[in-house]
Chain A
Amino acid sequence: MTLLTLADAPLATPLTLAGVPAGHALQLSRQGLRPGAAFSVVRRSTGGGRVVSIGGARVALGRSLLRGITAESL
């Protein structure tokens, strides 16, 4: 298993969320993005952000969050 930040995570690869920035944990958990959740990065978006797939939903995340979110690839 490799620990990555979301900025470095490959696209279309199954990931497990490892950690989120403390100040945004509640905001992200409302979208299902909480430690242990299975997700994948679907694409890069305008402005350097990412779109992730979580529980069938698509959530756009801004660039400033990417370095703070860590994930494990299987």
Chain B
Amino acid sequence: MAGDSTTVAVTKRPGQVATCHCAVANTGAGPGAPVIALIGAPNSGKSTLFNALTGARTTVGNWPGTTVEVARGAWRERTLIDLPGAYSLDPLSPDEQLTRDLLLADPDDRPDLVVVVADAAHLSRSLYLVSQVREHPQRVIVALTMLDVAKRHGIEIDTEALSEALGCPVVGIDPRRRNGLGELGQAVTAALKIRAPHRRRHDCCADDLAKADERFTWVAAAVDAGAADPGEDRLTFSDRLDRVAIAPVLGPLLFLVVMWLVFQVTTTVAAPLQDFFDGLFSGPVTDAALSGFAAVGLTGSWVEGLVVNGLIAGVGMILTFVPLMTLMFILLALLEDSGYLARAAVVTDRLMRAIGLPGKAFLPLVVGFGCNVPAISATRILGDSRQRLLTALLVPFTSCTARLTVYVLVSTIFFGQWAGTVVFGIYLTSIVVMVAVGLLLRRTLWRTMGTEPLVIDLPTYQLPTLRLTAAVTWTRLQGFLKTASGIIVATVAAVWLLQSIPAHGGTFGEIEVEDSVYGVAAQAITPVFEPAGFAQWQTTSALVVGFVAKEAVISSWAQTYAVDEPEGDDPGSLGQRIMADFAHSSGGHPGPAALAFMMFLMAYTPCVATLGAQGREIGWRWTGFGIVMQLAVAWLLAVAVFQVGSLWW
């Protein structure tokens, strides 16, 4: 059943039409295969169904707006595309516009069949989309999810009667537990053999609201025919949990506790595992490599330097962070799958509103705490173009997990047992900085920007499933390792090359790092950081390398310190070397200097991949503006933290 899949961004320029067959990358079951489009309201289980059918692992979460790009995969001999969630085909945001365009824009290039994923527990609202799709000459199948929840609410559904009333097949499925997928496959096969049914007549009125009324009336008749709903409005388990989760005072407190726990658990539980991997790479792996080079007579050669001091030190250091990243990804997946993140959007709505953004803007920002790249794409769930632009400019201030690795390393070195709390503090600061920058931009560039009121669906809480949590975690970890390994190998090679080229005469590969092109260039930039207390070329160069990706900061440090080891002197651990250099550069205030460094790291350009995503979403002019703004904010913040901190610490 499983096939290959990919997620692609489909961006449209004015006048360009996105199509199901052409604009999306050519993956799936191959040319000529029937194209099946999955559509449905946000949070209806659409992406879970896509993953279950294709064996793919697109991002799945129990909160609205998970699919903001188009995923495409093979489902047996068919091509399946997962379109962004939409309540209707009257778009209110770019992702909904994309869904409409892919379904309807080009009559010759529409999907061969549309599967509307409908939430049985909220049938009337889910079937609105069916009423709109049925107005077009399309083959349609309704896949009913959440039947168990509907049953708990006392709703009985007669799929045959509902199918009769809707004029298309209705199949009950449970994609989370992979039930009913065979029946759905049979229904698709059968539907593809026949012509599209006659479209539903809908020429009653010109006004949008009157049209919506007509559709709701049609849906109500179908629901009456196919479902028995006792209409009781009982308090559910989710309601009881929401008594705390979104309460006026307890809600924000719970949000802070949850976030603190996430960082505390990740840093404390991961620490012993990190130590184990650190010991493994700096001990047996390095020793084995050195013995290998000795055996072939290459001791002291540049090849040994590149492999031992570059690749093993750099890649080894990144791999020590795999347990930490895994834990972080697991916890984020649990929060997403449980339904809590939609509540977090409610809790943060007022804060977001202060900077002119709706609470919904919190969702891409939360994604940014995992990785900024998908977060930039997730801004498409916002309807207003200026709100999207502002959110895309603020996303880089959310600290991604790549930056977390550096925070943990530096905090552990300088703050020991308080490392978890310090890291949590940096995350809180990043939120404060984001709000402050948002306020500043709002008061200067976008004074007239309106605010969109909060209207958000609160999904039923659910117990996260092991399979989903594991799948989402593994996908993200794979992404991290893939990016990190590629970037690390490339930057390690580039750094090694630059460290080997003499700046003022000497032999290639036989010079001190300070005298290399790398060292001299870093020393030229270093004075900029004097007021921030970390004016040392080893750290400056790591920050320059970190412009490519934050994963490379630690490897750059590890590589520089490993190469820069004075002969006959005990170099100590990487931590001791970093601590000594910070103490020296800060004039005896290593703590404030370390905090200032982390502040700079938190606020400056996250990585080139994020810049690429920004360029795609908001254009290069605004991306350039963002780079300058982030560097300015980062430097000012770092200087302020060091100058104030060093007064009494």
Chain A interface residues toward B at CB < 8 A: 14, 24-32, 34, 40, 42-49, 51, 53, 55-65
Contacts and interface: CB of A to CB of B under 8 A. Distances in A.
B308 interface: no
A27 B92 contact: yes
A60 B122 contact: no
B125 A43 contact: no
A49 B122 CA distance: 22
Interface string B120-160: 01111100100000000000000000000000010100000
Given A27-B455, A44-B247, 7 more contacts: A29-B209, A31-B87, A55-B125, A57-B122, A58-B457, A59-B457, A59-B458
B353 A62 contact: yes
A40 B122 contact: no
Point out which of A24, A25, A29 has the most chain B C-beta atoms below 10 A from its C-beta: A29
Point out which of A28, A53, A62 has the most chain B C-beta atoms below 10 A from its C-beta: A62
B242 interface: yes
B224 to A, nearest CB: 13
Contacts of B242: 42-43, 51, 58
A45 B213 CA distance: 29
Interface of B is mostly: helix
A10 B305 CA distance: 73
B239 A42 contact: yes
Point out which of B87, B239, B346 has the most chain A C-beta atoms below 10 A from its C-beta: B346
Interface of A is mostly: mixed
A60 to B, nearest CB: 5
Interface in B466-501: none
A57 B457 contact: yes
Contact of A65 (B212, B243, B347, B453): B453
B453 A43 contact: no
A62 B233 contact: no
Contact of B212 (A34, A42, A64): A34
Contacts of B239: 42-43, 58
Given A32-B125, A42-B239, A44-B248, A60 B458 contact: yes
A44 B332 CA distance: 27
B455 A62 contact: yes
Contacts of B359: 62
Given A45-B346, A55-B122, A40 B233 contact: yes
A46 B457 contact: no
Point out which of B92, B242, B342 has the most chain A C-beta atoms below 10 A from its C-beta: B242
A15 to B, nearest CB: 11
B128 A30 contact: yes
Nearest to A46: B251
B216 interface: yes
A64 B352 CA distance: 13
Give me the 3 closest cross-chain CB pairs, A-B, nearest first.
A62-B454, A47-B350, A30-B87
B238 interface: yes
